[in-house]
Amino acid sequence: MTRKLTISGAILVMVGLLATFGSADDVSSSAPAPAEITIPQSAVPIVLTKKEQAEPDVVEDETTSVLAVKTSDSESDTFIIQPSASLPEQPAEPTLFAPPAESTIKETQDAEALTLDSPDNSSDEFPLVSGPATQPTSDTVDALEAQAPIVTPESEGLEFQITSDDGTTLATQSPVISEPVQPVFDPTEEVIDNGIQASVVQAPQISIASKGPKVIRAGEIGEYLITATNSGTTPAEDLFLVTHLPEWVAISATSSDFGEVDQLPSAEGVQLQWLVGILGAGETATWRVKLAPEKNRPFAMDIKWTIQPQTIVNPIEVIQPDIQLSLDGPEVMTYGDTKIVEVRVSNTGNGDAEDVVLKINPGIERGQSIGALPVGASKVVELELTAEQPGFMEIDASVAVAGKQHDEQSLEIQIRRPELKIAVAGPSKKFAGNPVTYRIEIANTGDTAAKDVVVSAVLPVGAQYKNNADELQAGKRNLSWKIGTVEAASTRAFEFSCVLMQDGQNQLSVRIEAAAAESRTGQFNTQVIGVADLKLLVNDPPGPKMLDELAVYEIKVVNRGTKTATNIEVVGQFGYGIEPVKTEGRRAELIPGQAVFNPIDSLAPGQEVVLKVYGKASKAGRHKFRAVVKSNNPETSLVQEEMTWFHDADQTDESADGPVILTADGAGQ
């Protein structure tokens, strides 16, 4: 909307000026017609005053609001127009303009300007243009022309129009509107500086207005409008309005454009409720209520309202280190094993920890400093443990921060160990040379399995091991068997056989070994009864033999028993017609028909003695040879005979062979 100041109106404004300008010699009679100025309705009334040539009281930095206006007919006519401090609703009457006592118009080549006094506008909330209050120069006028036209905040959205007296609209520059920069304010803004926080909360600005008739005829309807406006910068939460009406006031209708409306019976009559809820900044909500009183009585429609109180919240963070210990290690170990136990120190709090000291028993009884521990950080200490004693071993750990105990943890480790026992069973007595069977039994009485179990045995001297093929292996006294694993509370057993050859006490020694277990040994003694067993063997010469040839008879005595034979007598006897002539192997006494050897003191088991007797026949025929072996330990009497055929050179048949007659020691044929 615009309001025009026409030529007729402008004449009233310019009367005082023309009267003053008429006396000037340099005023041209062909001056252009006054211009028509269009100003906003809310603009400040324009007052023209004389600009004094010399004002000693002028302050250089005083601000002056000016409006520069030009017409298209004359670019040299320039008016400096100053607004007054008041803003009337209607255009000012001509009597408001006092003609200046003196005015001077000077025409120059650049422009013709009129300088007017400006009242003090330091208290004006919206000054139009700021500039020095001194005499403007042509440069100043040009600068002011570049800024024209000027609008006030009240005239924003309106426009200026300048018209000549012939009705032509003159061109003007588009107004440049500079809005004042307002600081952005966040009502919940939180400022933190150097650890100090400052919070500001601004409450919403709620205004409740009601509008309706003051007088209602009984039986007629009166409509009331209640508005809720939030002119603040923050939303209003839980806005609630309530009013009470007598029971004789009927409610014709009630509605709202925002929130919910409800009516409830009360002791006084009816309670109307309007729950607006959240009313945003700059928003307005309306509530329409139509009432119809039924009695001729006055009543009041009192409206009460509430909103949720505003809260200022200062979040305060409390930091504290929270040092936690954890021990990660085996719960069970086997004797002799080496394991790693991890001790982890963690800061699960929200503050850094300084001067952290860790103690571990056994291991670090006096404590070890691990320095600072930031939030969320962890440090790990590894301990190498060797199980050296069966039972339970406890590891205790504690951590302190700046000398204050924070956490303690313990880890109990059970150390298990296998316990082996061995038992050997066999015959207590046995004849030498007979097989003997032994049984070895292994028992694990510990609380864990015995692994890599090995059984070793040492046979008695002279014993021979009998393998699975029933083959004797002489000279193999050291035996071993790999058993493997023997579980806890279990037993393993096996048997083996051997032949004991040594007379007397024979001891079997057994040893058992396993990983993580102590070795165990066992013995078993068997009384062996040895027996000497002599055997006689005679080898006679192959025949026939010539009478002049020597016949060699070999006597072999063998002790095939398990005991040494002692005091063995050996005698070689010949029949009639042949005599011993010499012996070998042992000294002997030659007597007619016999060769008596010196006694053999002892003959160990397995040993043998070979004796030879040479005989010569004196007549042809078949002659006998007898070997006799006797011993009292063992009591033995052995006899073996052989026959040899002797002949002379002329004898070719066997008829000459006569009976053999033995004459030694009364032995017959």
Distances (CA, A) of 517 to 387, 451, 456: 13, 9, 15
Question: Is residue 175 in some structural domain?
Answer: no
Pairing of strands 332-334, 404-416: parallel
Distances (CA, A) of 503 to 41, 431, 459, 462, 604: 150, 8, 14, 9, 11
The CB density around residue 631, as the number of other CB atoms within 10 Å, is 22
Q: Which of 254, 287, 284, 281 is nearest to 270 (CA)?
A: 254
**494 vs 10: CA distance, rounded Å:** 141
Find the CATH number of the domain harbouring 210: 2.60.40.1170
**117 vs 84: CA distance, rounded Å:** 10
Place of tokens 């250089």: 60
pLDDT (tens digit, 9 = 90+) per residue, 607-641?
999 999 999 998 888 999 999 999 998 889 999 99
Question: Is residue 313 in some structural domain?
Answer: no
Task: Give the model's confidence band at 397: pLDDT under 50 very low, under 70 low, under 90 confident, else very high.
Answer: very high
Decide if pLDDT at 92 tops 80. no
Residues 605 and 461 in one domain: no
Decide if pLDDT at 150 tops 50. no
Residues 547 and 642 in one domain: yes
Q: What is the pLDDT of residue 38?
A: 39
Structural domain count, the chain: 5
Residues 561 and 654 in one domain: yes
For residues 485-499, give the mean pLDDT.
Answer: 94
Find the CATH number of the domain harbouring 392: 2.60.40.10
Question: Is residue 608 in some structural domain?
Answer: yes
Q: What are the phi and psi torsion angles at 500 (to 5°)?
A: -90, 125
Q: What is the pLDDT of residue 189?
A: 54
Max alpha carbon distance in the chain (Å)? Answer: 218
Burial 288-317 (b: 16+ CB within 10 A, else e): ebebbbeeeeeeebebebebeeeeeeeeee
Q: What is the pLDDT of residue 550?
A: 92
Query: Which of 186-190, 360-364, 405-409, 505-509 is predicted least confidently?
Result: 186-190
Give one DSSP letter per residue of 223-266, joined into a string: EEEEEEEE-SSSPEEEEEEEEEEETTEEEEEEEESSSEEEEEE-
Question: Is residue 192 in some structural domain?
Answer: no
Residues 515 and 584 in one domain: no
Residues 397 and 440 in one domain: no
Hey, which of 47-56, 74-83, 554-563 has the most confident mean pLDDT?
Answer: 554-563
Q: What is the pLDDT of residue 317?
A: 86
Decide if pLDDT at 116 tops 50. no
Decide if pLDDT at 62 tops 60. no
Distances (CA, A) of 248 to 107, 212, 297: 84, 19, 9
Q: What are the phi and psi torsion angles at 92 (to 5°)?
A: -70, 145
Residues 146 and 242 in one domain: no
Residues 381 and 441 in one domain: no
Question: Is residue 317 in some structural domain?
Answer: no
Q: What is the pLDDT of residue 137?
A: 46
Question: Is residue 155 in some structural domain?
Answer: yes
Residues 637 and 540 in one domain: yes
Six-digit token string for 230: 């939030």
pLDDT (tens digit, 9 = 90+) per residue, 197-237?
777 778 889 999 999 999 999 989 999 999 999 998 989 99
Q: Of 258, 274, 306, at which residue does a domain stop?
A: 306
Task: Give the model's confidence band at 492: pLDDT under 50 very low, under 70 low, under 90 confident, else very high.
Answer: very high
pLDDT (tens digit, 9 = 90+) per residue, 296-348?
999 988 899 999 887 888 888 889 999 999 999 999 999 989 999 999 999 99
Q: Of 489, 507, 529, at which residue does a domain stop?
A: 529
Task: Give the model's confidence band at 543: pLDDT under 50 very low, under 70 low, under 90 confident, else very high.
Answer: confident
**540 vs 77: CA distance, rounded Å:** 182
Decide if pLDDT at 86 tops 60. no
Place of tokens 């006055």: 298
Query: Which of 152-166, 168-182, 411-425, 610-624 is predicted least confidently?
Result: 152-166
Q: HEC string of 634-654?
A: CEEEEEEEEEEEEECCCCCCC
Q: Of 529, 560, 581, at which residue does a domain stop?
A: 529
Residues 381 and 457 in one domain: no
Instruction: Report the share of the chain in percent with pLDDT over 90.
Output: 46
What are the CB-based long-range contacts (under 8 Å, 24+) for 205-213?
Answer: 205/230, 205/231, 205/232, 206/230, 206/232, 206/236, 206/239, 206/279, 206/305, 206/307, 207/231, 208/241, 208/303, 208/305, 210/301, 210/303, 212/301
Decide if pLDDT at 20 tops 60. no
Residues 299 and 411 in one domain: no
The residue segments making up the domain with residue 379 are 323-416
Q: What is the pLDDT of residue 15?
A: 53
Instruction: Report the share of the chain in percent with pLDDT over 70.
Output: 68
Type and span of the H or E element at 88: none
Task: Give the model's confidence band at 651: pLDDT under 50 very low, under 70 low, under 90 confident, else very high.
Answer: low
For residues 468-476, give the mean pLDDT.
Answer: 80
Q: What is the pLDDT of residue 267?
A: 86
**pLDDT top residue among 121 and 435:** 435
For residues 124-149, give the mean pLDDT.
Answer: 42
Decide if pLDDT at 151 tops 50. no
One-letter amino acid at 239 equals L
Decide if pLDDT at 506 tops 90. yes
Six-digit token string for 196: 């100090």
Place of tokens 């066997």: 654
- pLDDT mean across residues, the chain: 76
Question: Is residue 350 in some structural domain?
Answer: yes
pLDDT (tens digit, 9 = 90+) per residue, 583-606?
999 999 999 999 999 999 999 888
Q: What is the pLDDT of residue 311?
A: 83
For residues 32-59, give the mean pLDDT.
Answer: 40
The CB density around residue 659, as the number of other CB atoms within 10 Å, is 10
Residues 159 and 15 in one domain: yes
Mark out the alpha helices in 314-401 (DSSP H runs).
none
Question: Is residue 184 in some structural domain?
Answer: no
Q: Measured at the alpha carbon of residue 605, what is the angle toward residues 600 and 608, in degrees to the nearest 5? A: 50
Task: Give the model's confidence band at 513: pLDDT under 50 very low, under 70 low, under 90 confident, else very high.
Answer: very high
Q: Which of helix, strand or coil describes residue 213?
A: coil
Residues 504 and 395 in one domain: no
pLDDT (tens digit, 9 = 90+) per residue, 450-465?
999 999 999 999 899 9
Q: What is the pLDDT of residue 548?
A: 85
